[in-house]
């Protein structure tokens, strides 16, 4: 069988080998390739374009809340990093160090930033003197380096792209409010723009970010039932500011401590998009984030008037700010259809001589493969409606999967049985004791606490699943990436 008959490279069935399916989709959709630097990625145009749209949409949401963008250095002096001991302890195994510059050995080694709390505190210590200088609500779009031992495209790589927001406030209450506000921004973005439903809440004491007082997380469920931590927002209190000597004069001319937050989302969210929405044909992209929303495919394009009409449709859609392309290559329609599907483009428009005669096109939805016949005159009004429907339908299908894969366990044996026979999350009651949490993790292989749900209407009426003492929290458990 030649390449034209096979159309595009075959993809392993998702339910046959999920890990292989994921790798196949990344490759066939031309999202990224590993570089010569082990564990680091080359982001290809298709993959980077998705990140650009994520960045654009998320940045707009940030700025509506008063966030300003900055850029800080990639190198952090070791002496600066050591100022917050709990923080560096949490990152120590993943830090990469620069020890030589040119031909000279450095007097002090520098780490390549794994995150930038210390850099932000260093500059705030220099410029924040009065209550008039607060708040500082900053964010940077950058890359960080963490020396991961095991890597997978987007999900875990040594260098990855992200945004890291850092804010400084006069009061603890204001900082806590900002922490929750950015947590909500992430929730809204992922559910509304990426069509991914979420479990959200606070991390337990042992799972929170190093140096944080509280960590809020949004957790998405992949098609294999595993969790992907998709965004976090941290309340640091005055741990970092005090360690860096950041003090400000209040209105009464009294020297006071400042309070800090930090929040981030990375390119691993692209992995979530793939694993939540993808199918055996490849990517399925939500219209709001798809680099190309519509692909126009002329049928019998060598015949008079077909290409001209197809290009006229492209221009018409572009005028309405619809992201559209045309596939004019000398390939069969079947090949083009298959490639459009593997790339996850939400809508396909087919137009040939017979369609032109009828003043119509055939539109195919990527998510359901439903075919819709639409008058050419109504394209600019109907396509936005169809894309909105696709966005909603994708969310609802993923939400149904999430809801039907959350199980409740009332004791440890029940939890073990569920973990061995089902994929998904397990909800239990917990006393809040760290030792009980560790015991559960050791007895339920591969499971960890994902979060303590917030805004839950469910009452705590049961005992701790491990020690059987009075429960203080509901906890969601699951395997994770």
Domain holding 96: CATH number? 3.30.930.10
- Residues spanned by the domain of 353: 294-386
Domain boundary (277, 308, 324) is at 277
Both tokens of 158, joined, read 């040594």
Residues 308 and 259 in one domain: no
Residues 301 and 422 in one domain: no
Residues 103 and 237 in one domain: yes
Residues 273 and 301 in one domain: no
Instruction: Please tell me the total count of domains within the chain.
Output: 3
Residues 411 and 380 in one domain: no
Rounded to whole angstroms, the Cα distance separating 20 from 290 reads 23
Residue 395 placed within a domain: no
Q: Note the pLDDT of residue 4.
A: 47
- Structure pTM? 0.94
Q: Note the pLDDT of residue 93.
A: 83
- Residue 137, beta-bridge partner list: 167
β-strand pairing of 425-430 with 473-478: antiparallel
Residues 180 and 270 in one domain: yes
Domain holding 359: CATH number? 3.40.50.800
Residue 396 placed within a domain: no
Residue 64 placed within a domain: yes
Tokens 């969210």 — which residue? 269
Contact in structure between 387 and 293 (CB atoms under 8 Å): yes
Q: Find the helix packing angle between 412-421 and 434-443, rounded to 10°.
A: 40
Residues 260 and 339 in one domain: no
Domain holding 421: CATH number? 3.30.110.30
Residues 471 and 441 in one domain: yes
Residues 268 and 298 in one domain: no
pLDDT along the chain (481 residues), means of 10: 54 96 97 95 98 98 98 95 72 89 95 94 97 98 94 95 98 98 98 98 94 95 98 95 96 97 98 98 98 98 95 98 97 95 98 97 98 97 98 98 97 96 97 95 96 87 91 96 95
3-state secondary structure (DSSP) of residue 60: helix
Contact in structure between 215 and 233 (CB atoms under 8 Å): yes
Rounded to whole angstroms, the Cα distance separating 463 from 322 reads 54
Q: Note the pLDDT of residue 87.
A: 62
Residues 109 and 217 in one domain: yes
Residue 400 placed within a domain: no
Residue 391 placed within a domain: no
Residue 285 placed within a domain: no
Residue 245 placed within a domain: yes
Q: Note the pLDDT of residue 377.
A: 97
Residues 167 and 43 in one domain: yes
Buried b (16+ CB within 10 A) or exposed e, 213-238: bbbbbbbbbbbbbbbbbbbbbbbbbb
* Cis ω before 135 (30° cut-off from 0): yes
Domain boundary (357, 386, 415) is at 386
Residue 13 placed within a domain: no
Contact in structure between 465 and 431 (CB atoms under 8 Å): no
Residues 380 and 413 in one domain: no
């Amino acid at each position: 069988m030649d390449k034209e008959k096979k159309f595009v490279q075959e993809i392993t069935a998702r339910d046959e080998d999920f890990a292989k399916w994921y790798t196949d989709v990344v490759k066939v959709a031309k999202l990224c390739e590993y570089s010569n630097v082990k564990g680091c990625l080359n982001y290809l145009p298709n993959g980077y374009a998705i990140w650009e749209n994520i960045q654009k949409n998320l940045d707009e949401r940030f700025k509506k809340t008063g966030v300003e963008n900055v850029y800080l250095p990639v190198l952090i002096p070791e002496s600066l990093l050591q100022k917050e001991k709990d923080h560096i302890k949490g990152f120590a195994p993943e830090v990469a160090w620069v020890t030589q510059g040119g031909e000279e050995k450095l007097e002090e080694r520098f780490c390549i930033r794994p995150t930038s709390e210390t850099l932000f505190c260093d500059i705030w210590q220099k410029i924040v003197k009065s209550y008039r200088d607060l708040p500082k609500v900053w964010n940077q779009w950058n890359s960080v380096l963490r020396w991961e031992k095991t890597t997978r495209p987007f999900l875990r790589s040594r260098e990855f792209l992200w945004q890291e927001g850092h804010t400084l406030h006069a009061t603890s209450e204001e900082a806590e409010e900002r922490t929750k506000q950015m947590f909500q921004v992430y929730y809204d973005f992922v559910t509304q723009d990426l069509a991914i439903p979420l479990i959200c809440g606070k991390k337990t004491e042992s799972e929170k970010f190093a140096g944080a007082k509280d960590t809020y997380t949004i957790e998405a469920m992949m098609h294999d039932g595993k969790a992907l931590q998709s965004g976090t927002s941290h309340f640091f209190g005055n741990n970092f500011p005090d360690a860096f000597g950041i003090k400000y004069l209040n209105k009464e001319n009294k020297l006071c401590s400042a309070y800090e937050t930090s929040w981030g989302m990375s390119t691993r969210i692209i992995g979530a998009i793939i694993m939540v929405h993808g199918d055996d044909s490849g990517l399925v992209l939500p219209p709001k984030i798809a680099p190309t929303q519509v692909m126009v495919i002329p049928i019998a394009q060598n015949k008079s008037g077909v290409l001209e009409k197809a290009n006229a449709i492209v221009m018409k859609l572009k005028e309405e700010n619809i992201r559209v392309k045309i596939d004019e290559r000398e390939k069969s329609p079947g090949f083009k259809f298959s490639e459009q599907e593997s790339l996850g483009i939400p809508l396909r428009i087919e137009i040939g001589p017979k369609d032109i005669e009828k003043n119509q096109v055939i539109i195919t939805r990527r998510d359901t493969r439903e075919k819709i016949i639409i008058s050419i005159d109504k394209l600019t009004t109907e396509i936005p409606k169809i894309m909105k429907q696709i966005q909603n339908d994708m969310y609802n299908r993923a939400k149904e999967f999430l809801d039907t894969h959350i199980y409740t366990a009332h004791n440890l044996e029940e939890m073990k049985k569920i973990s061995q026979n089902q994929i998904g999350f397990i909800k239990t009651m917990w006393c809040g004791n760290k030792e009980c949490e560790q015991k559960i993790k050791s007895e339920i292989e591969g499971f960890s606490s994902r979060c303590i749900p917030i805004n839950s209407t469910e009452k705590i009426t049961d005992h701790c699943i491990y020690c059987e003492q009075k429960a203080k929290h509901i906890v969601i458990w699951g395997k994770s990436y």
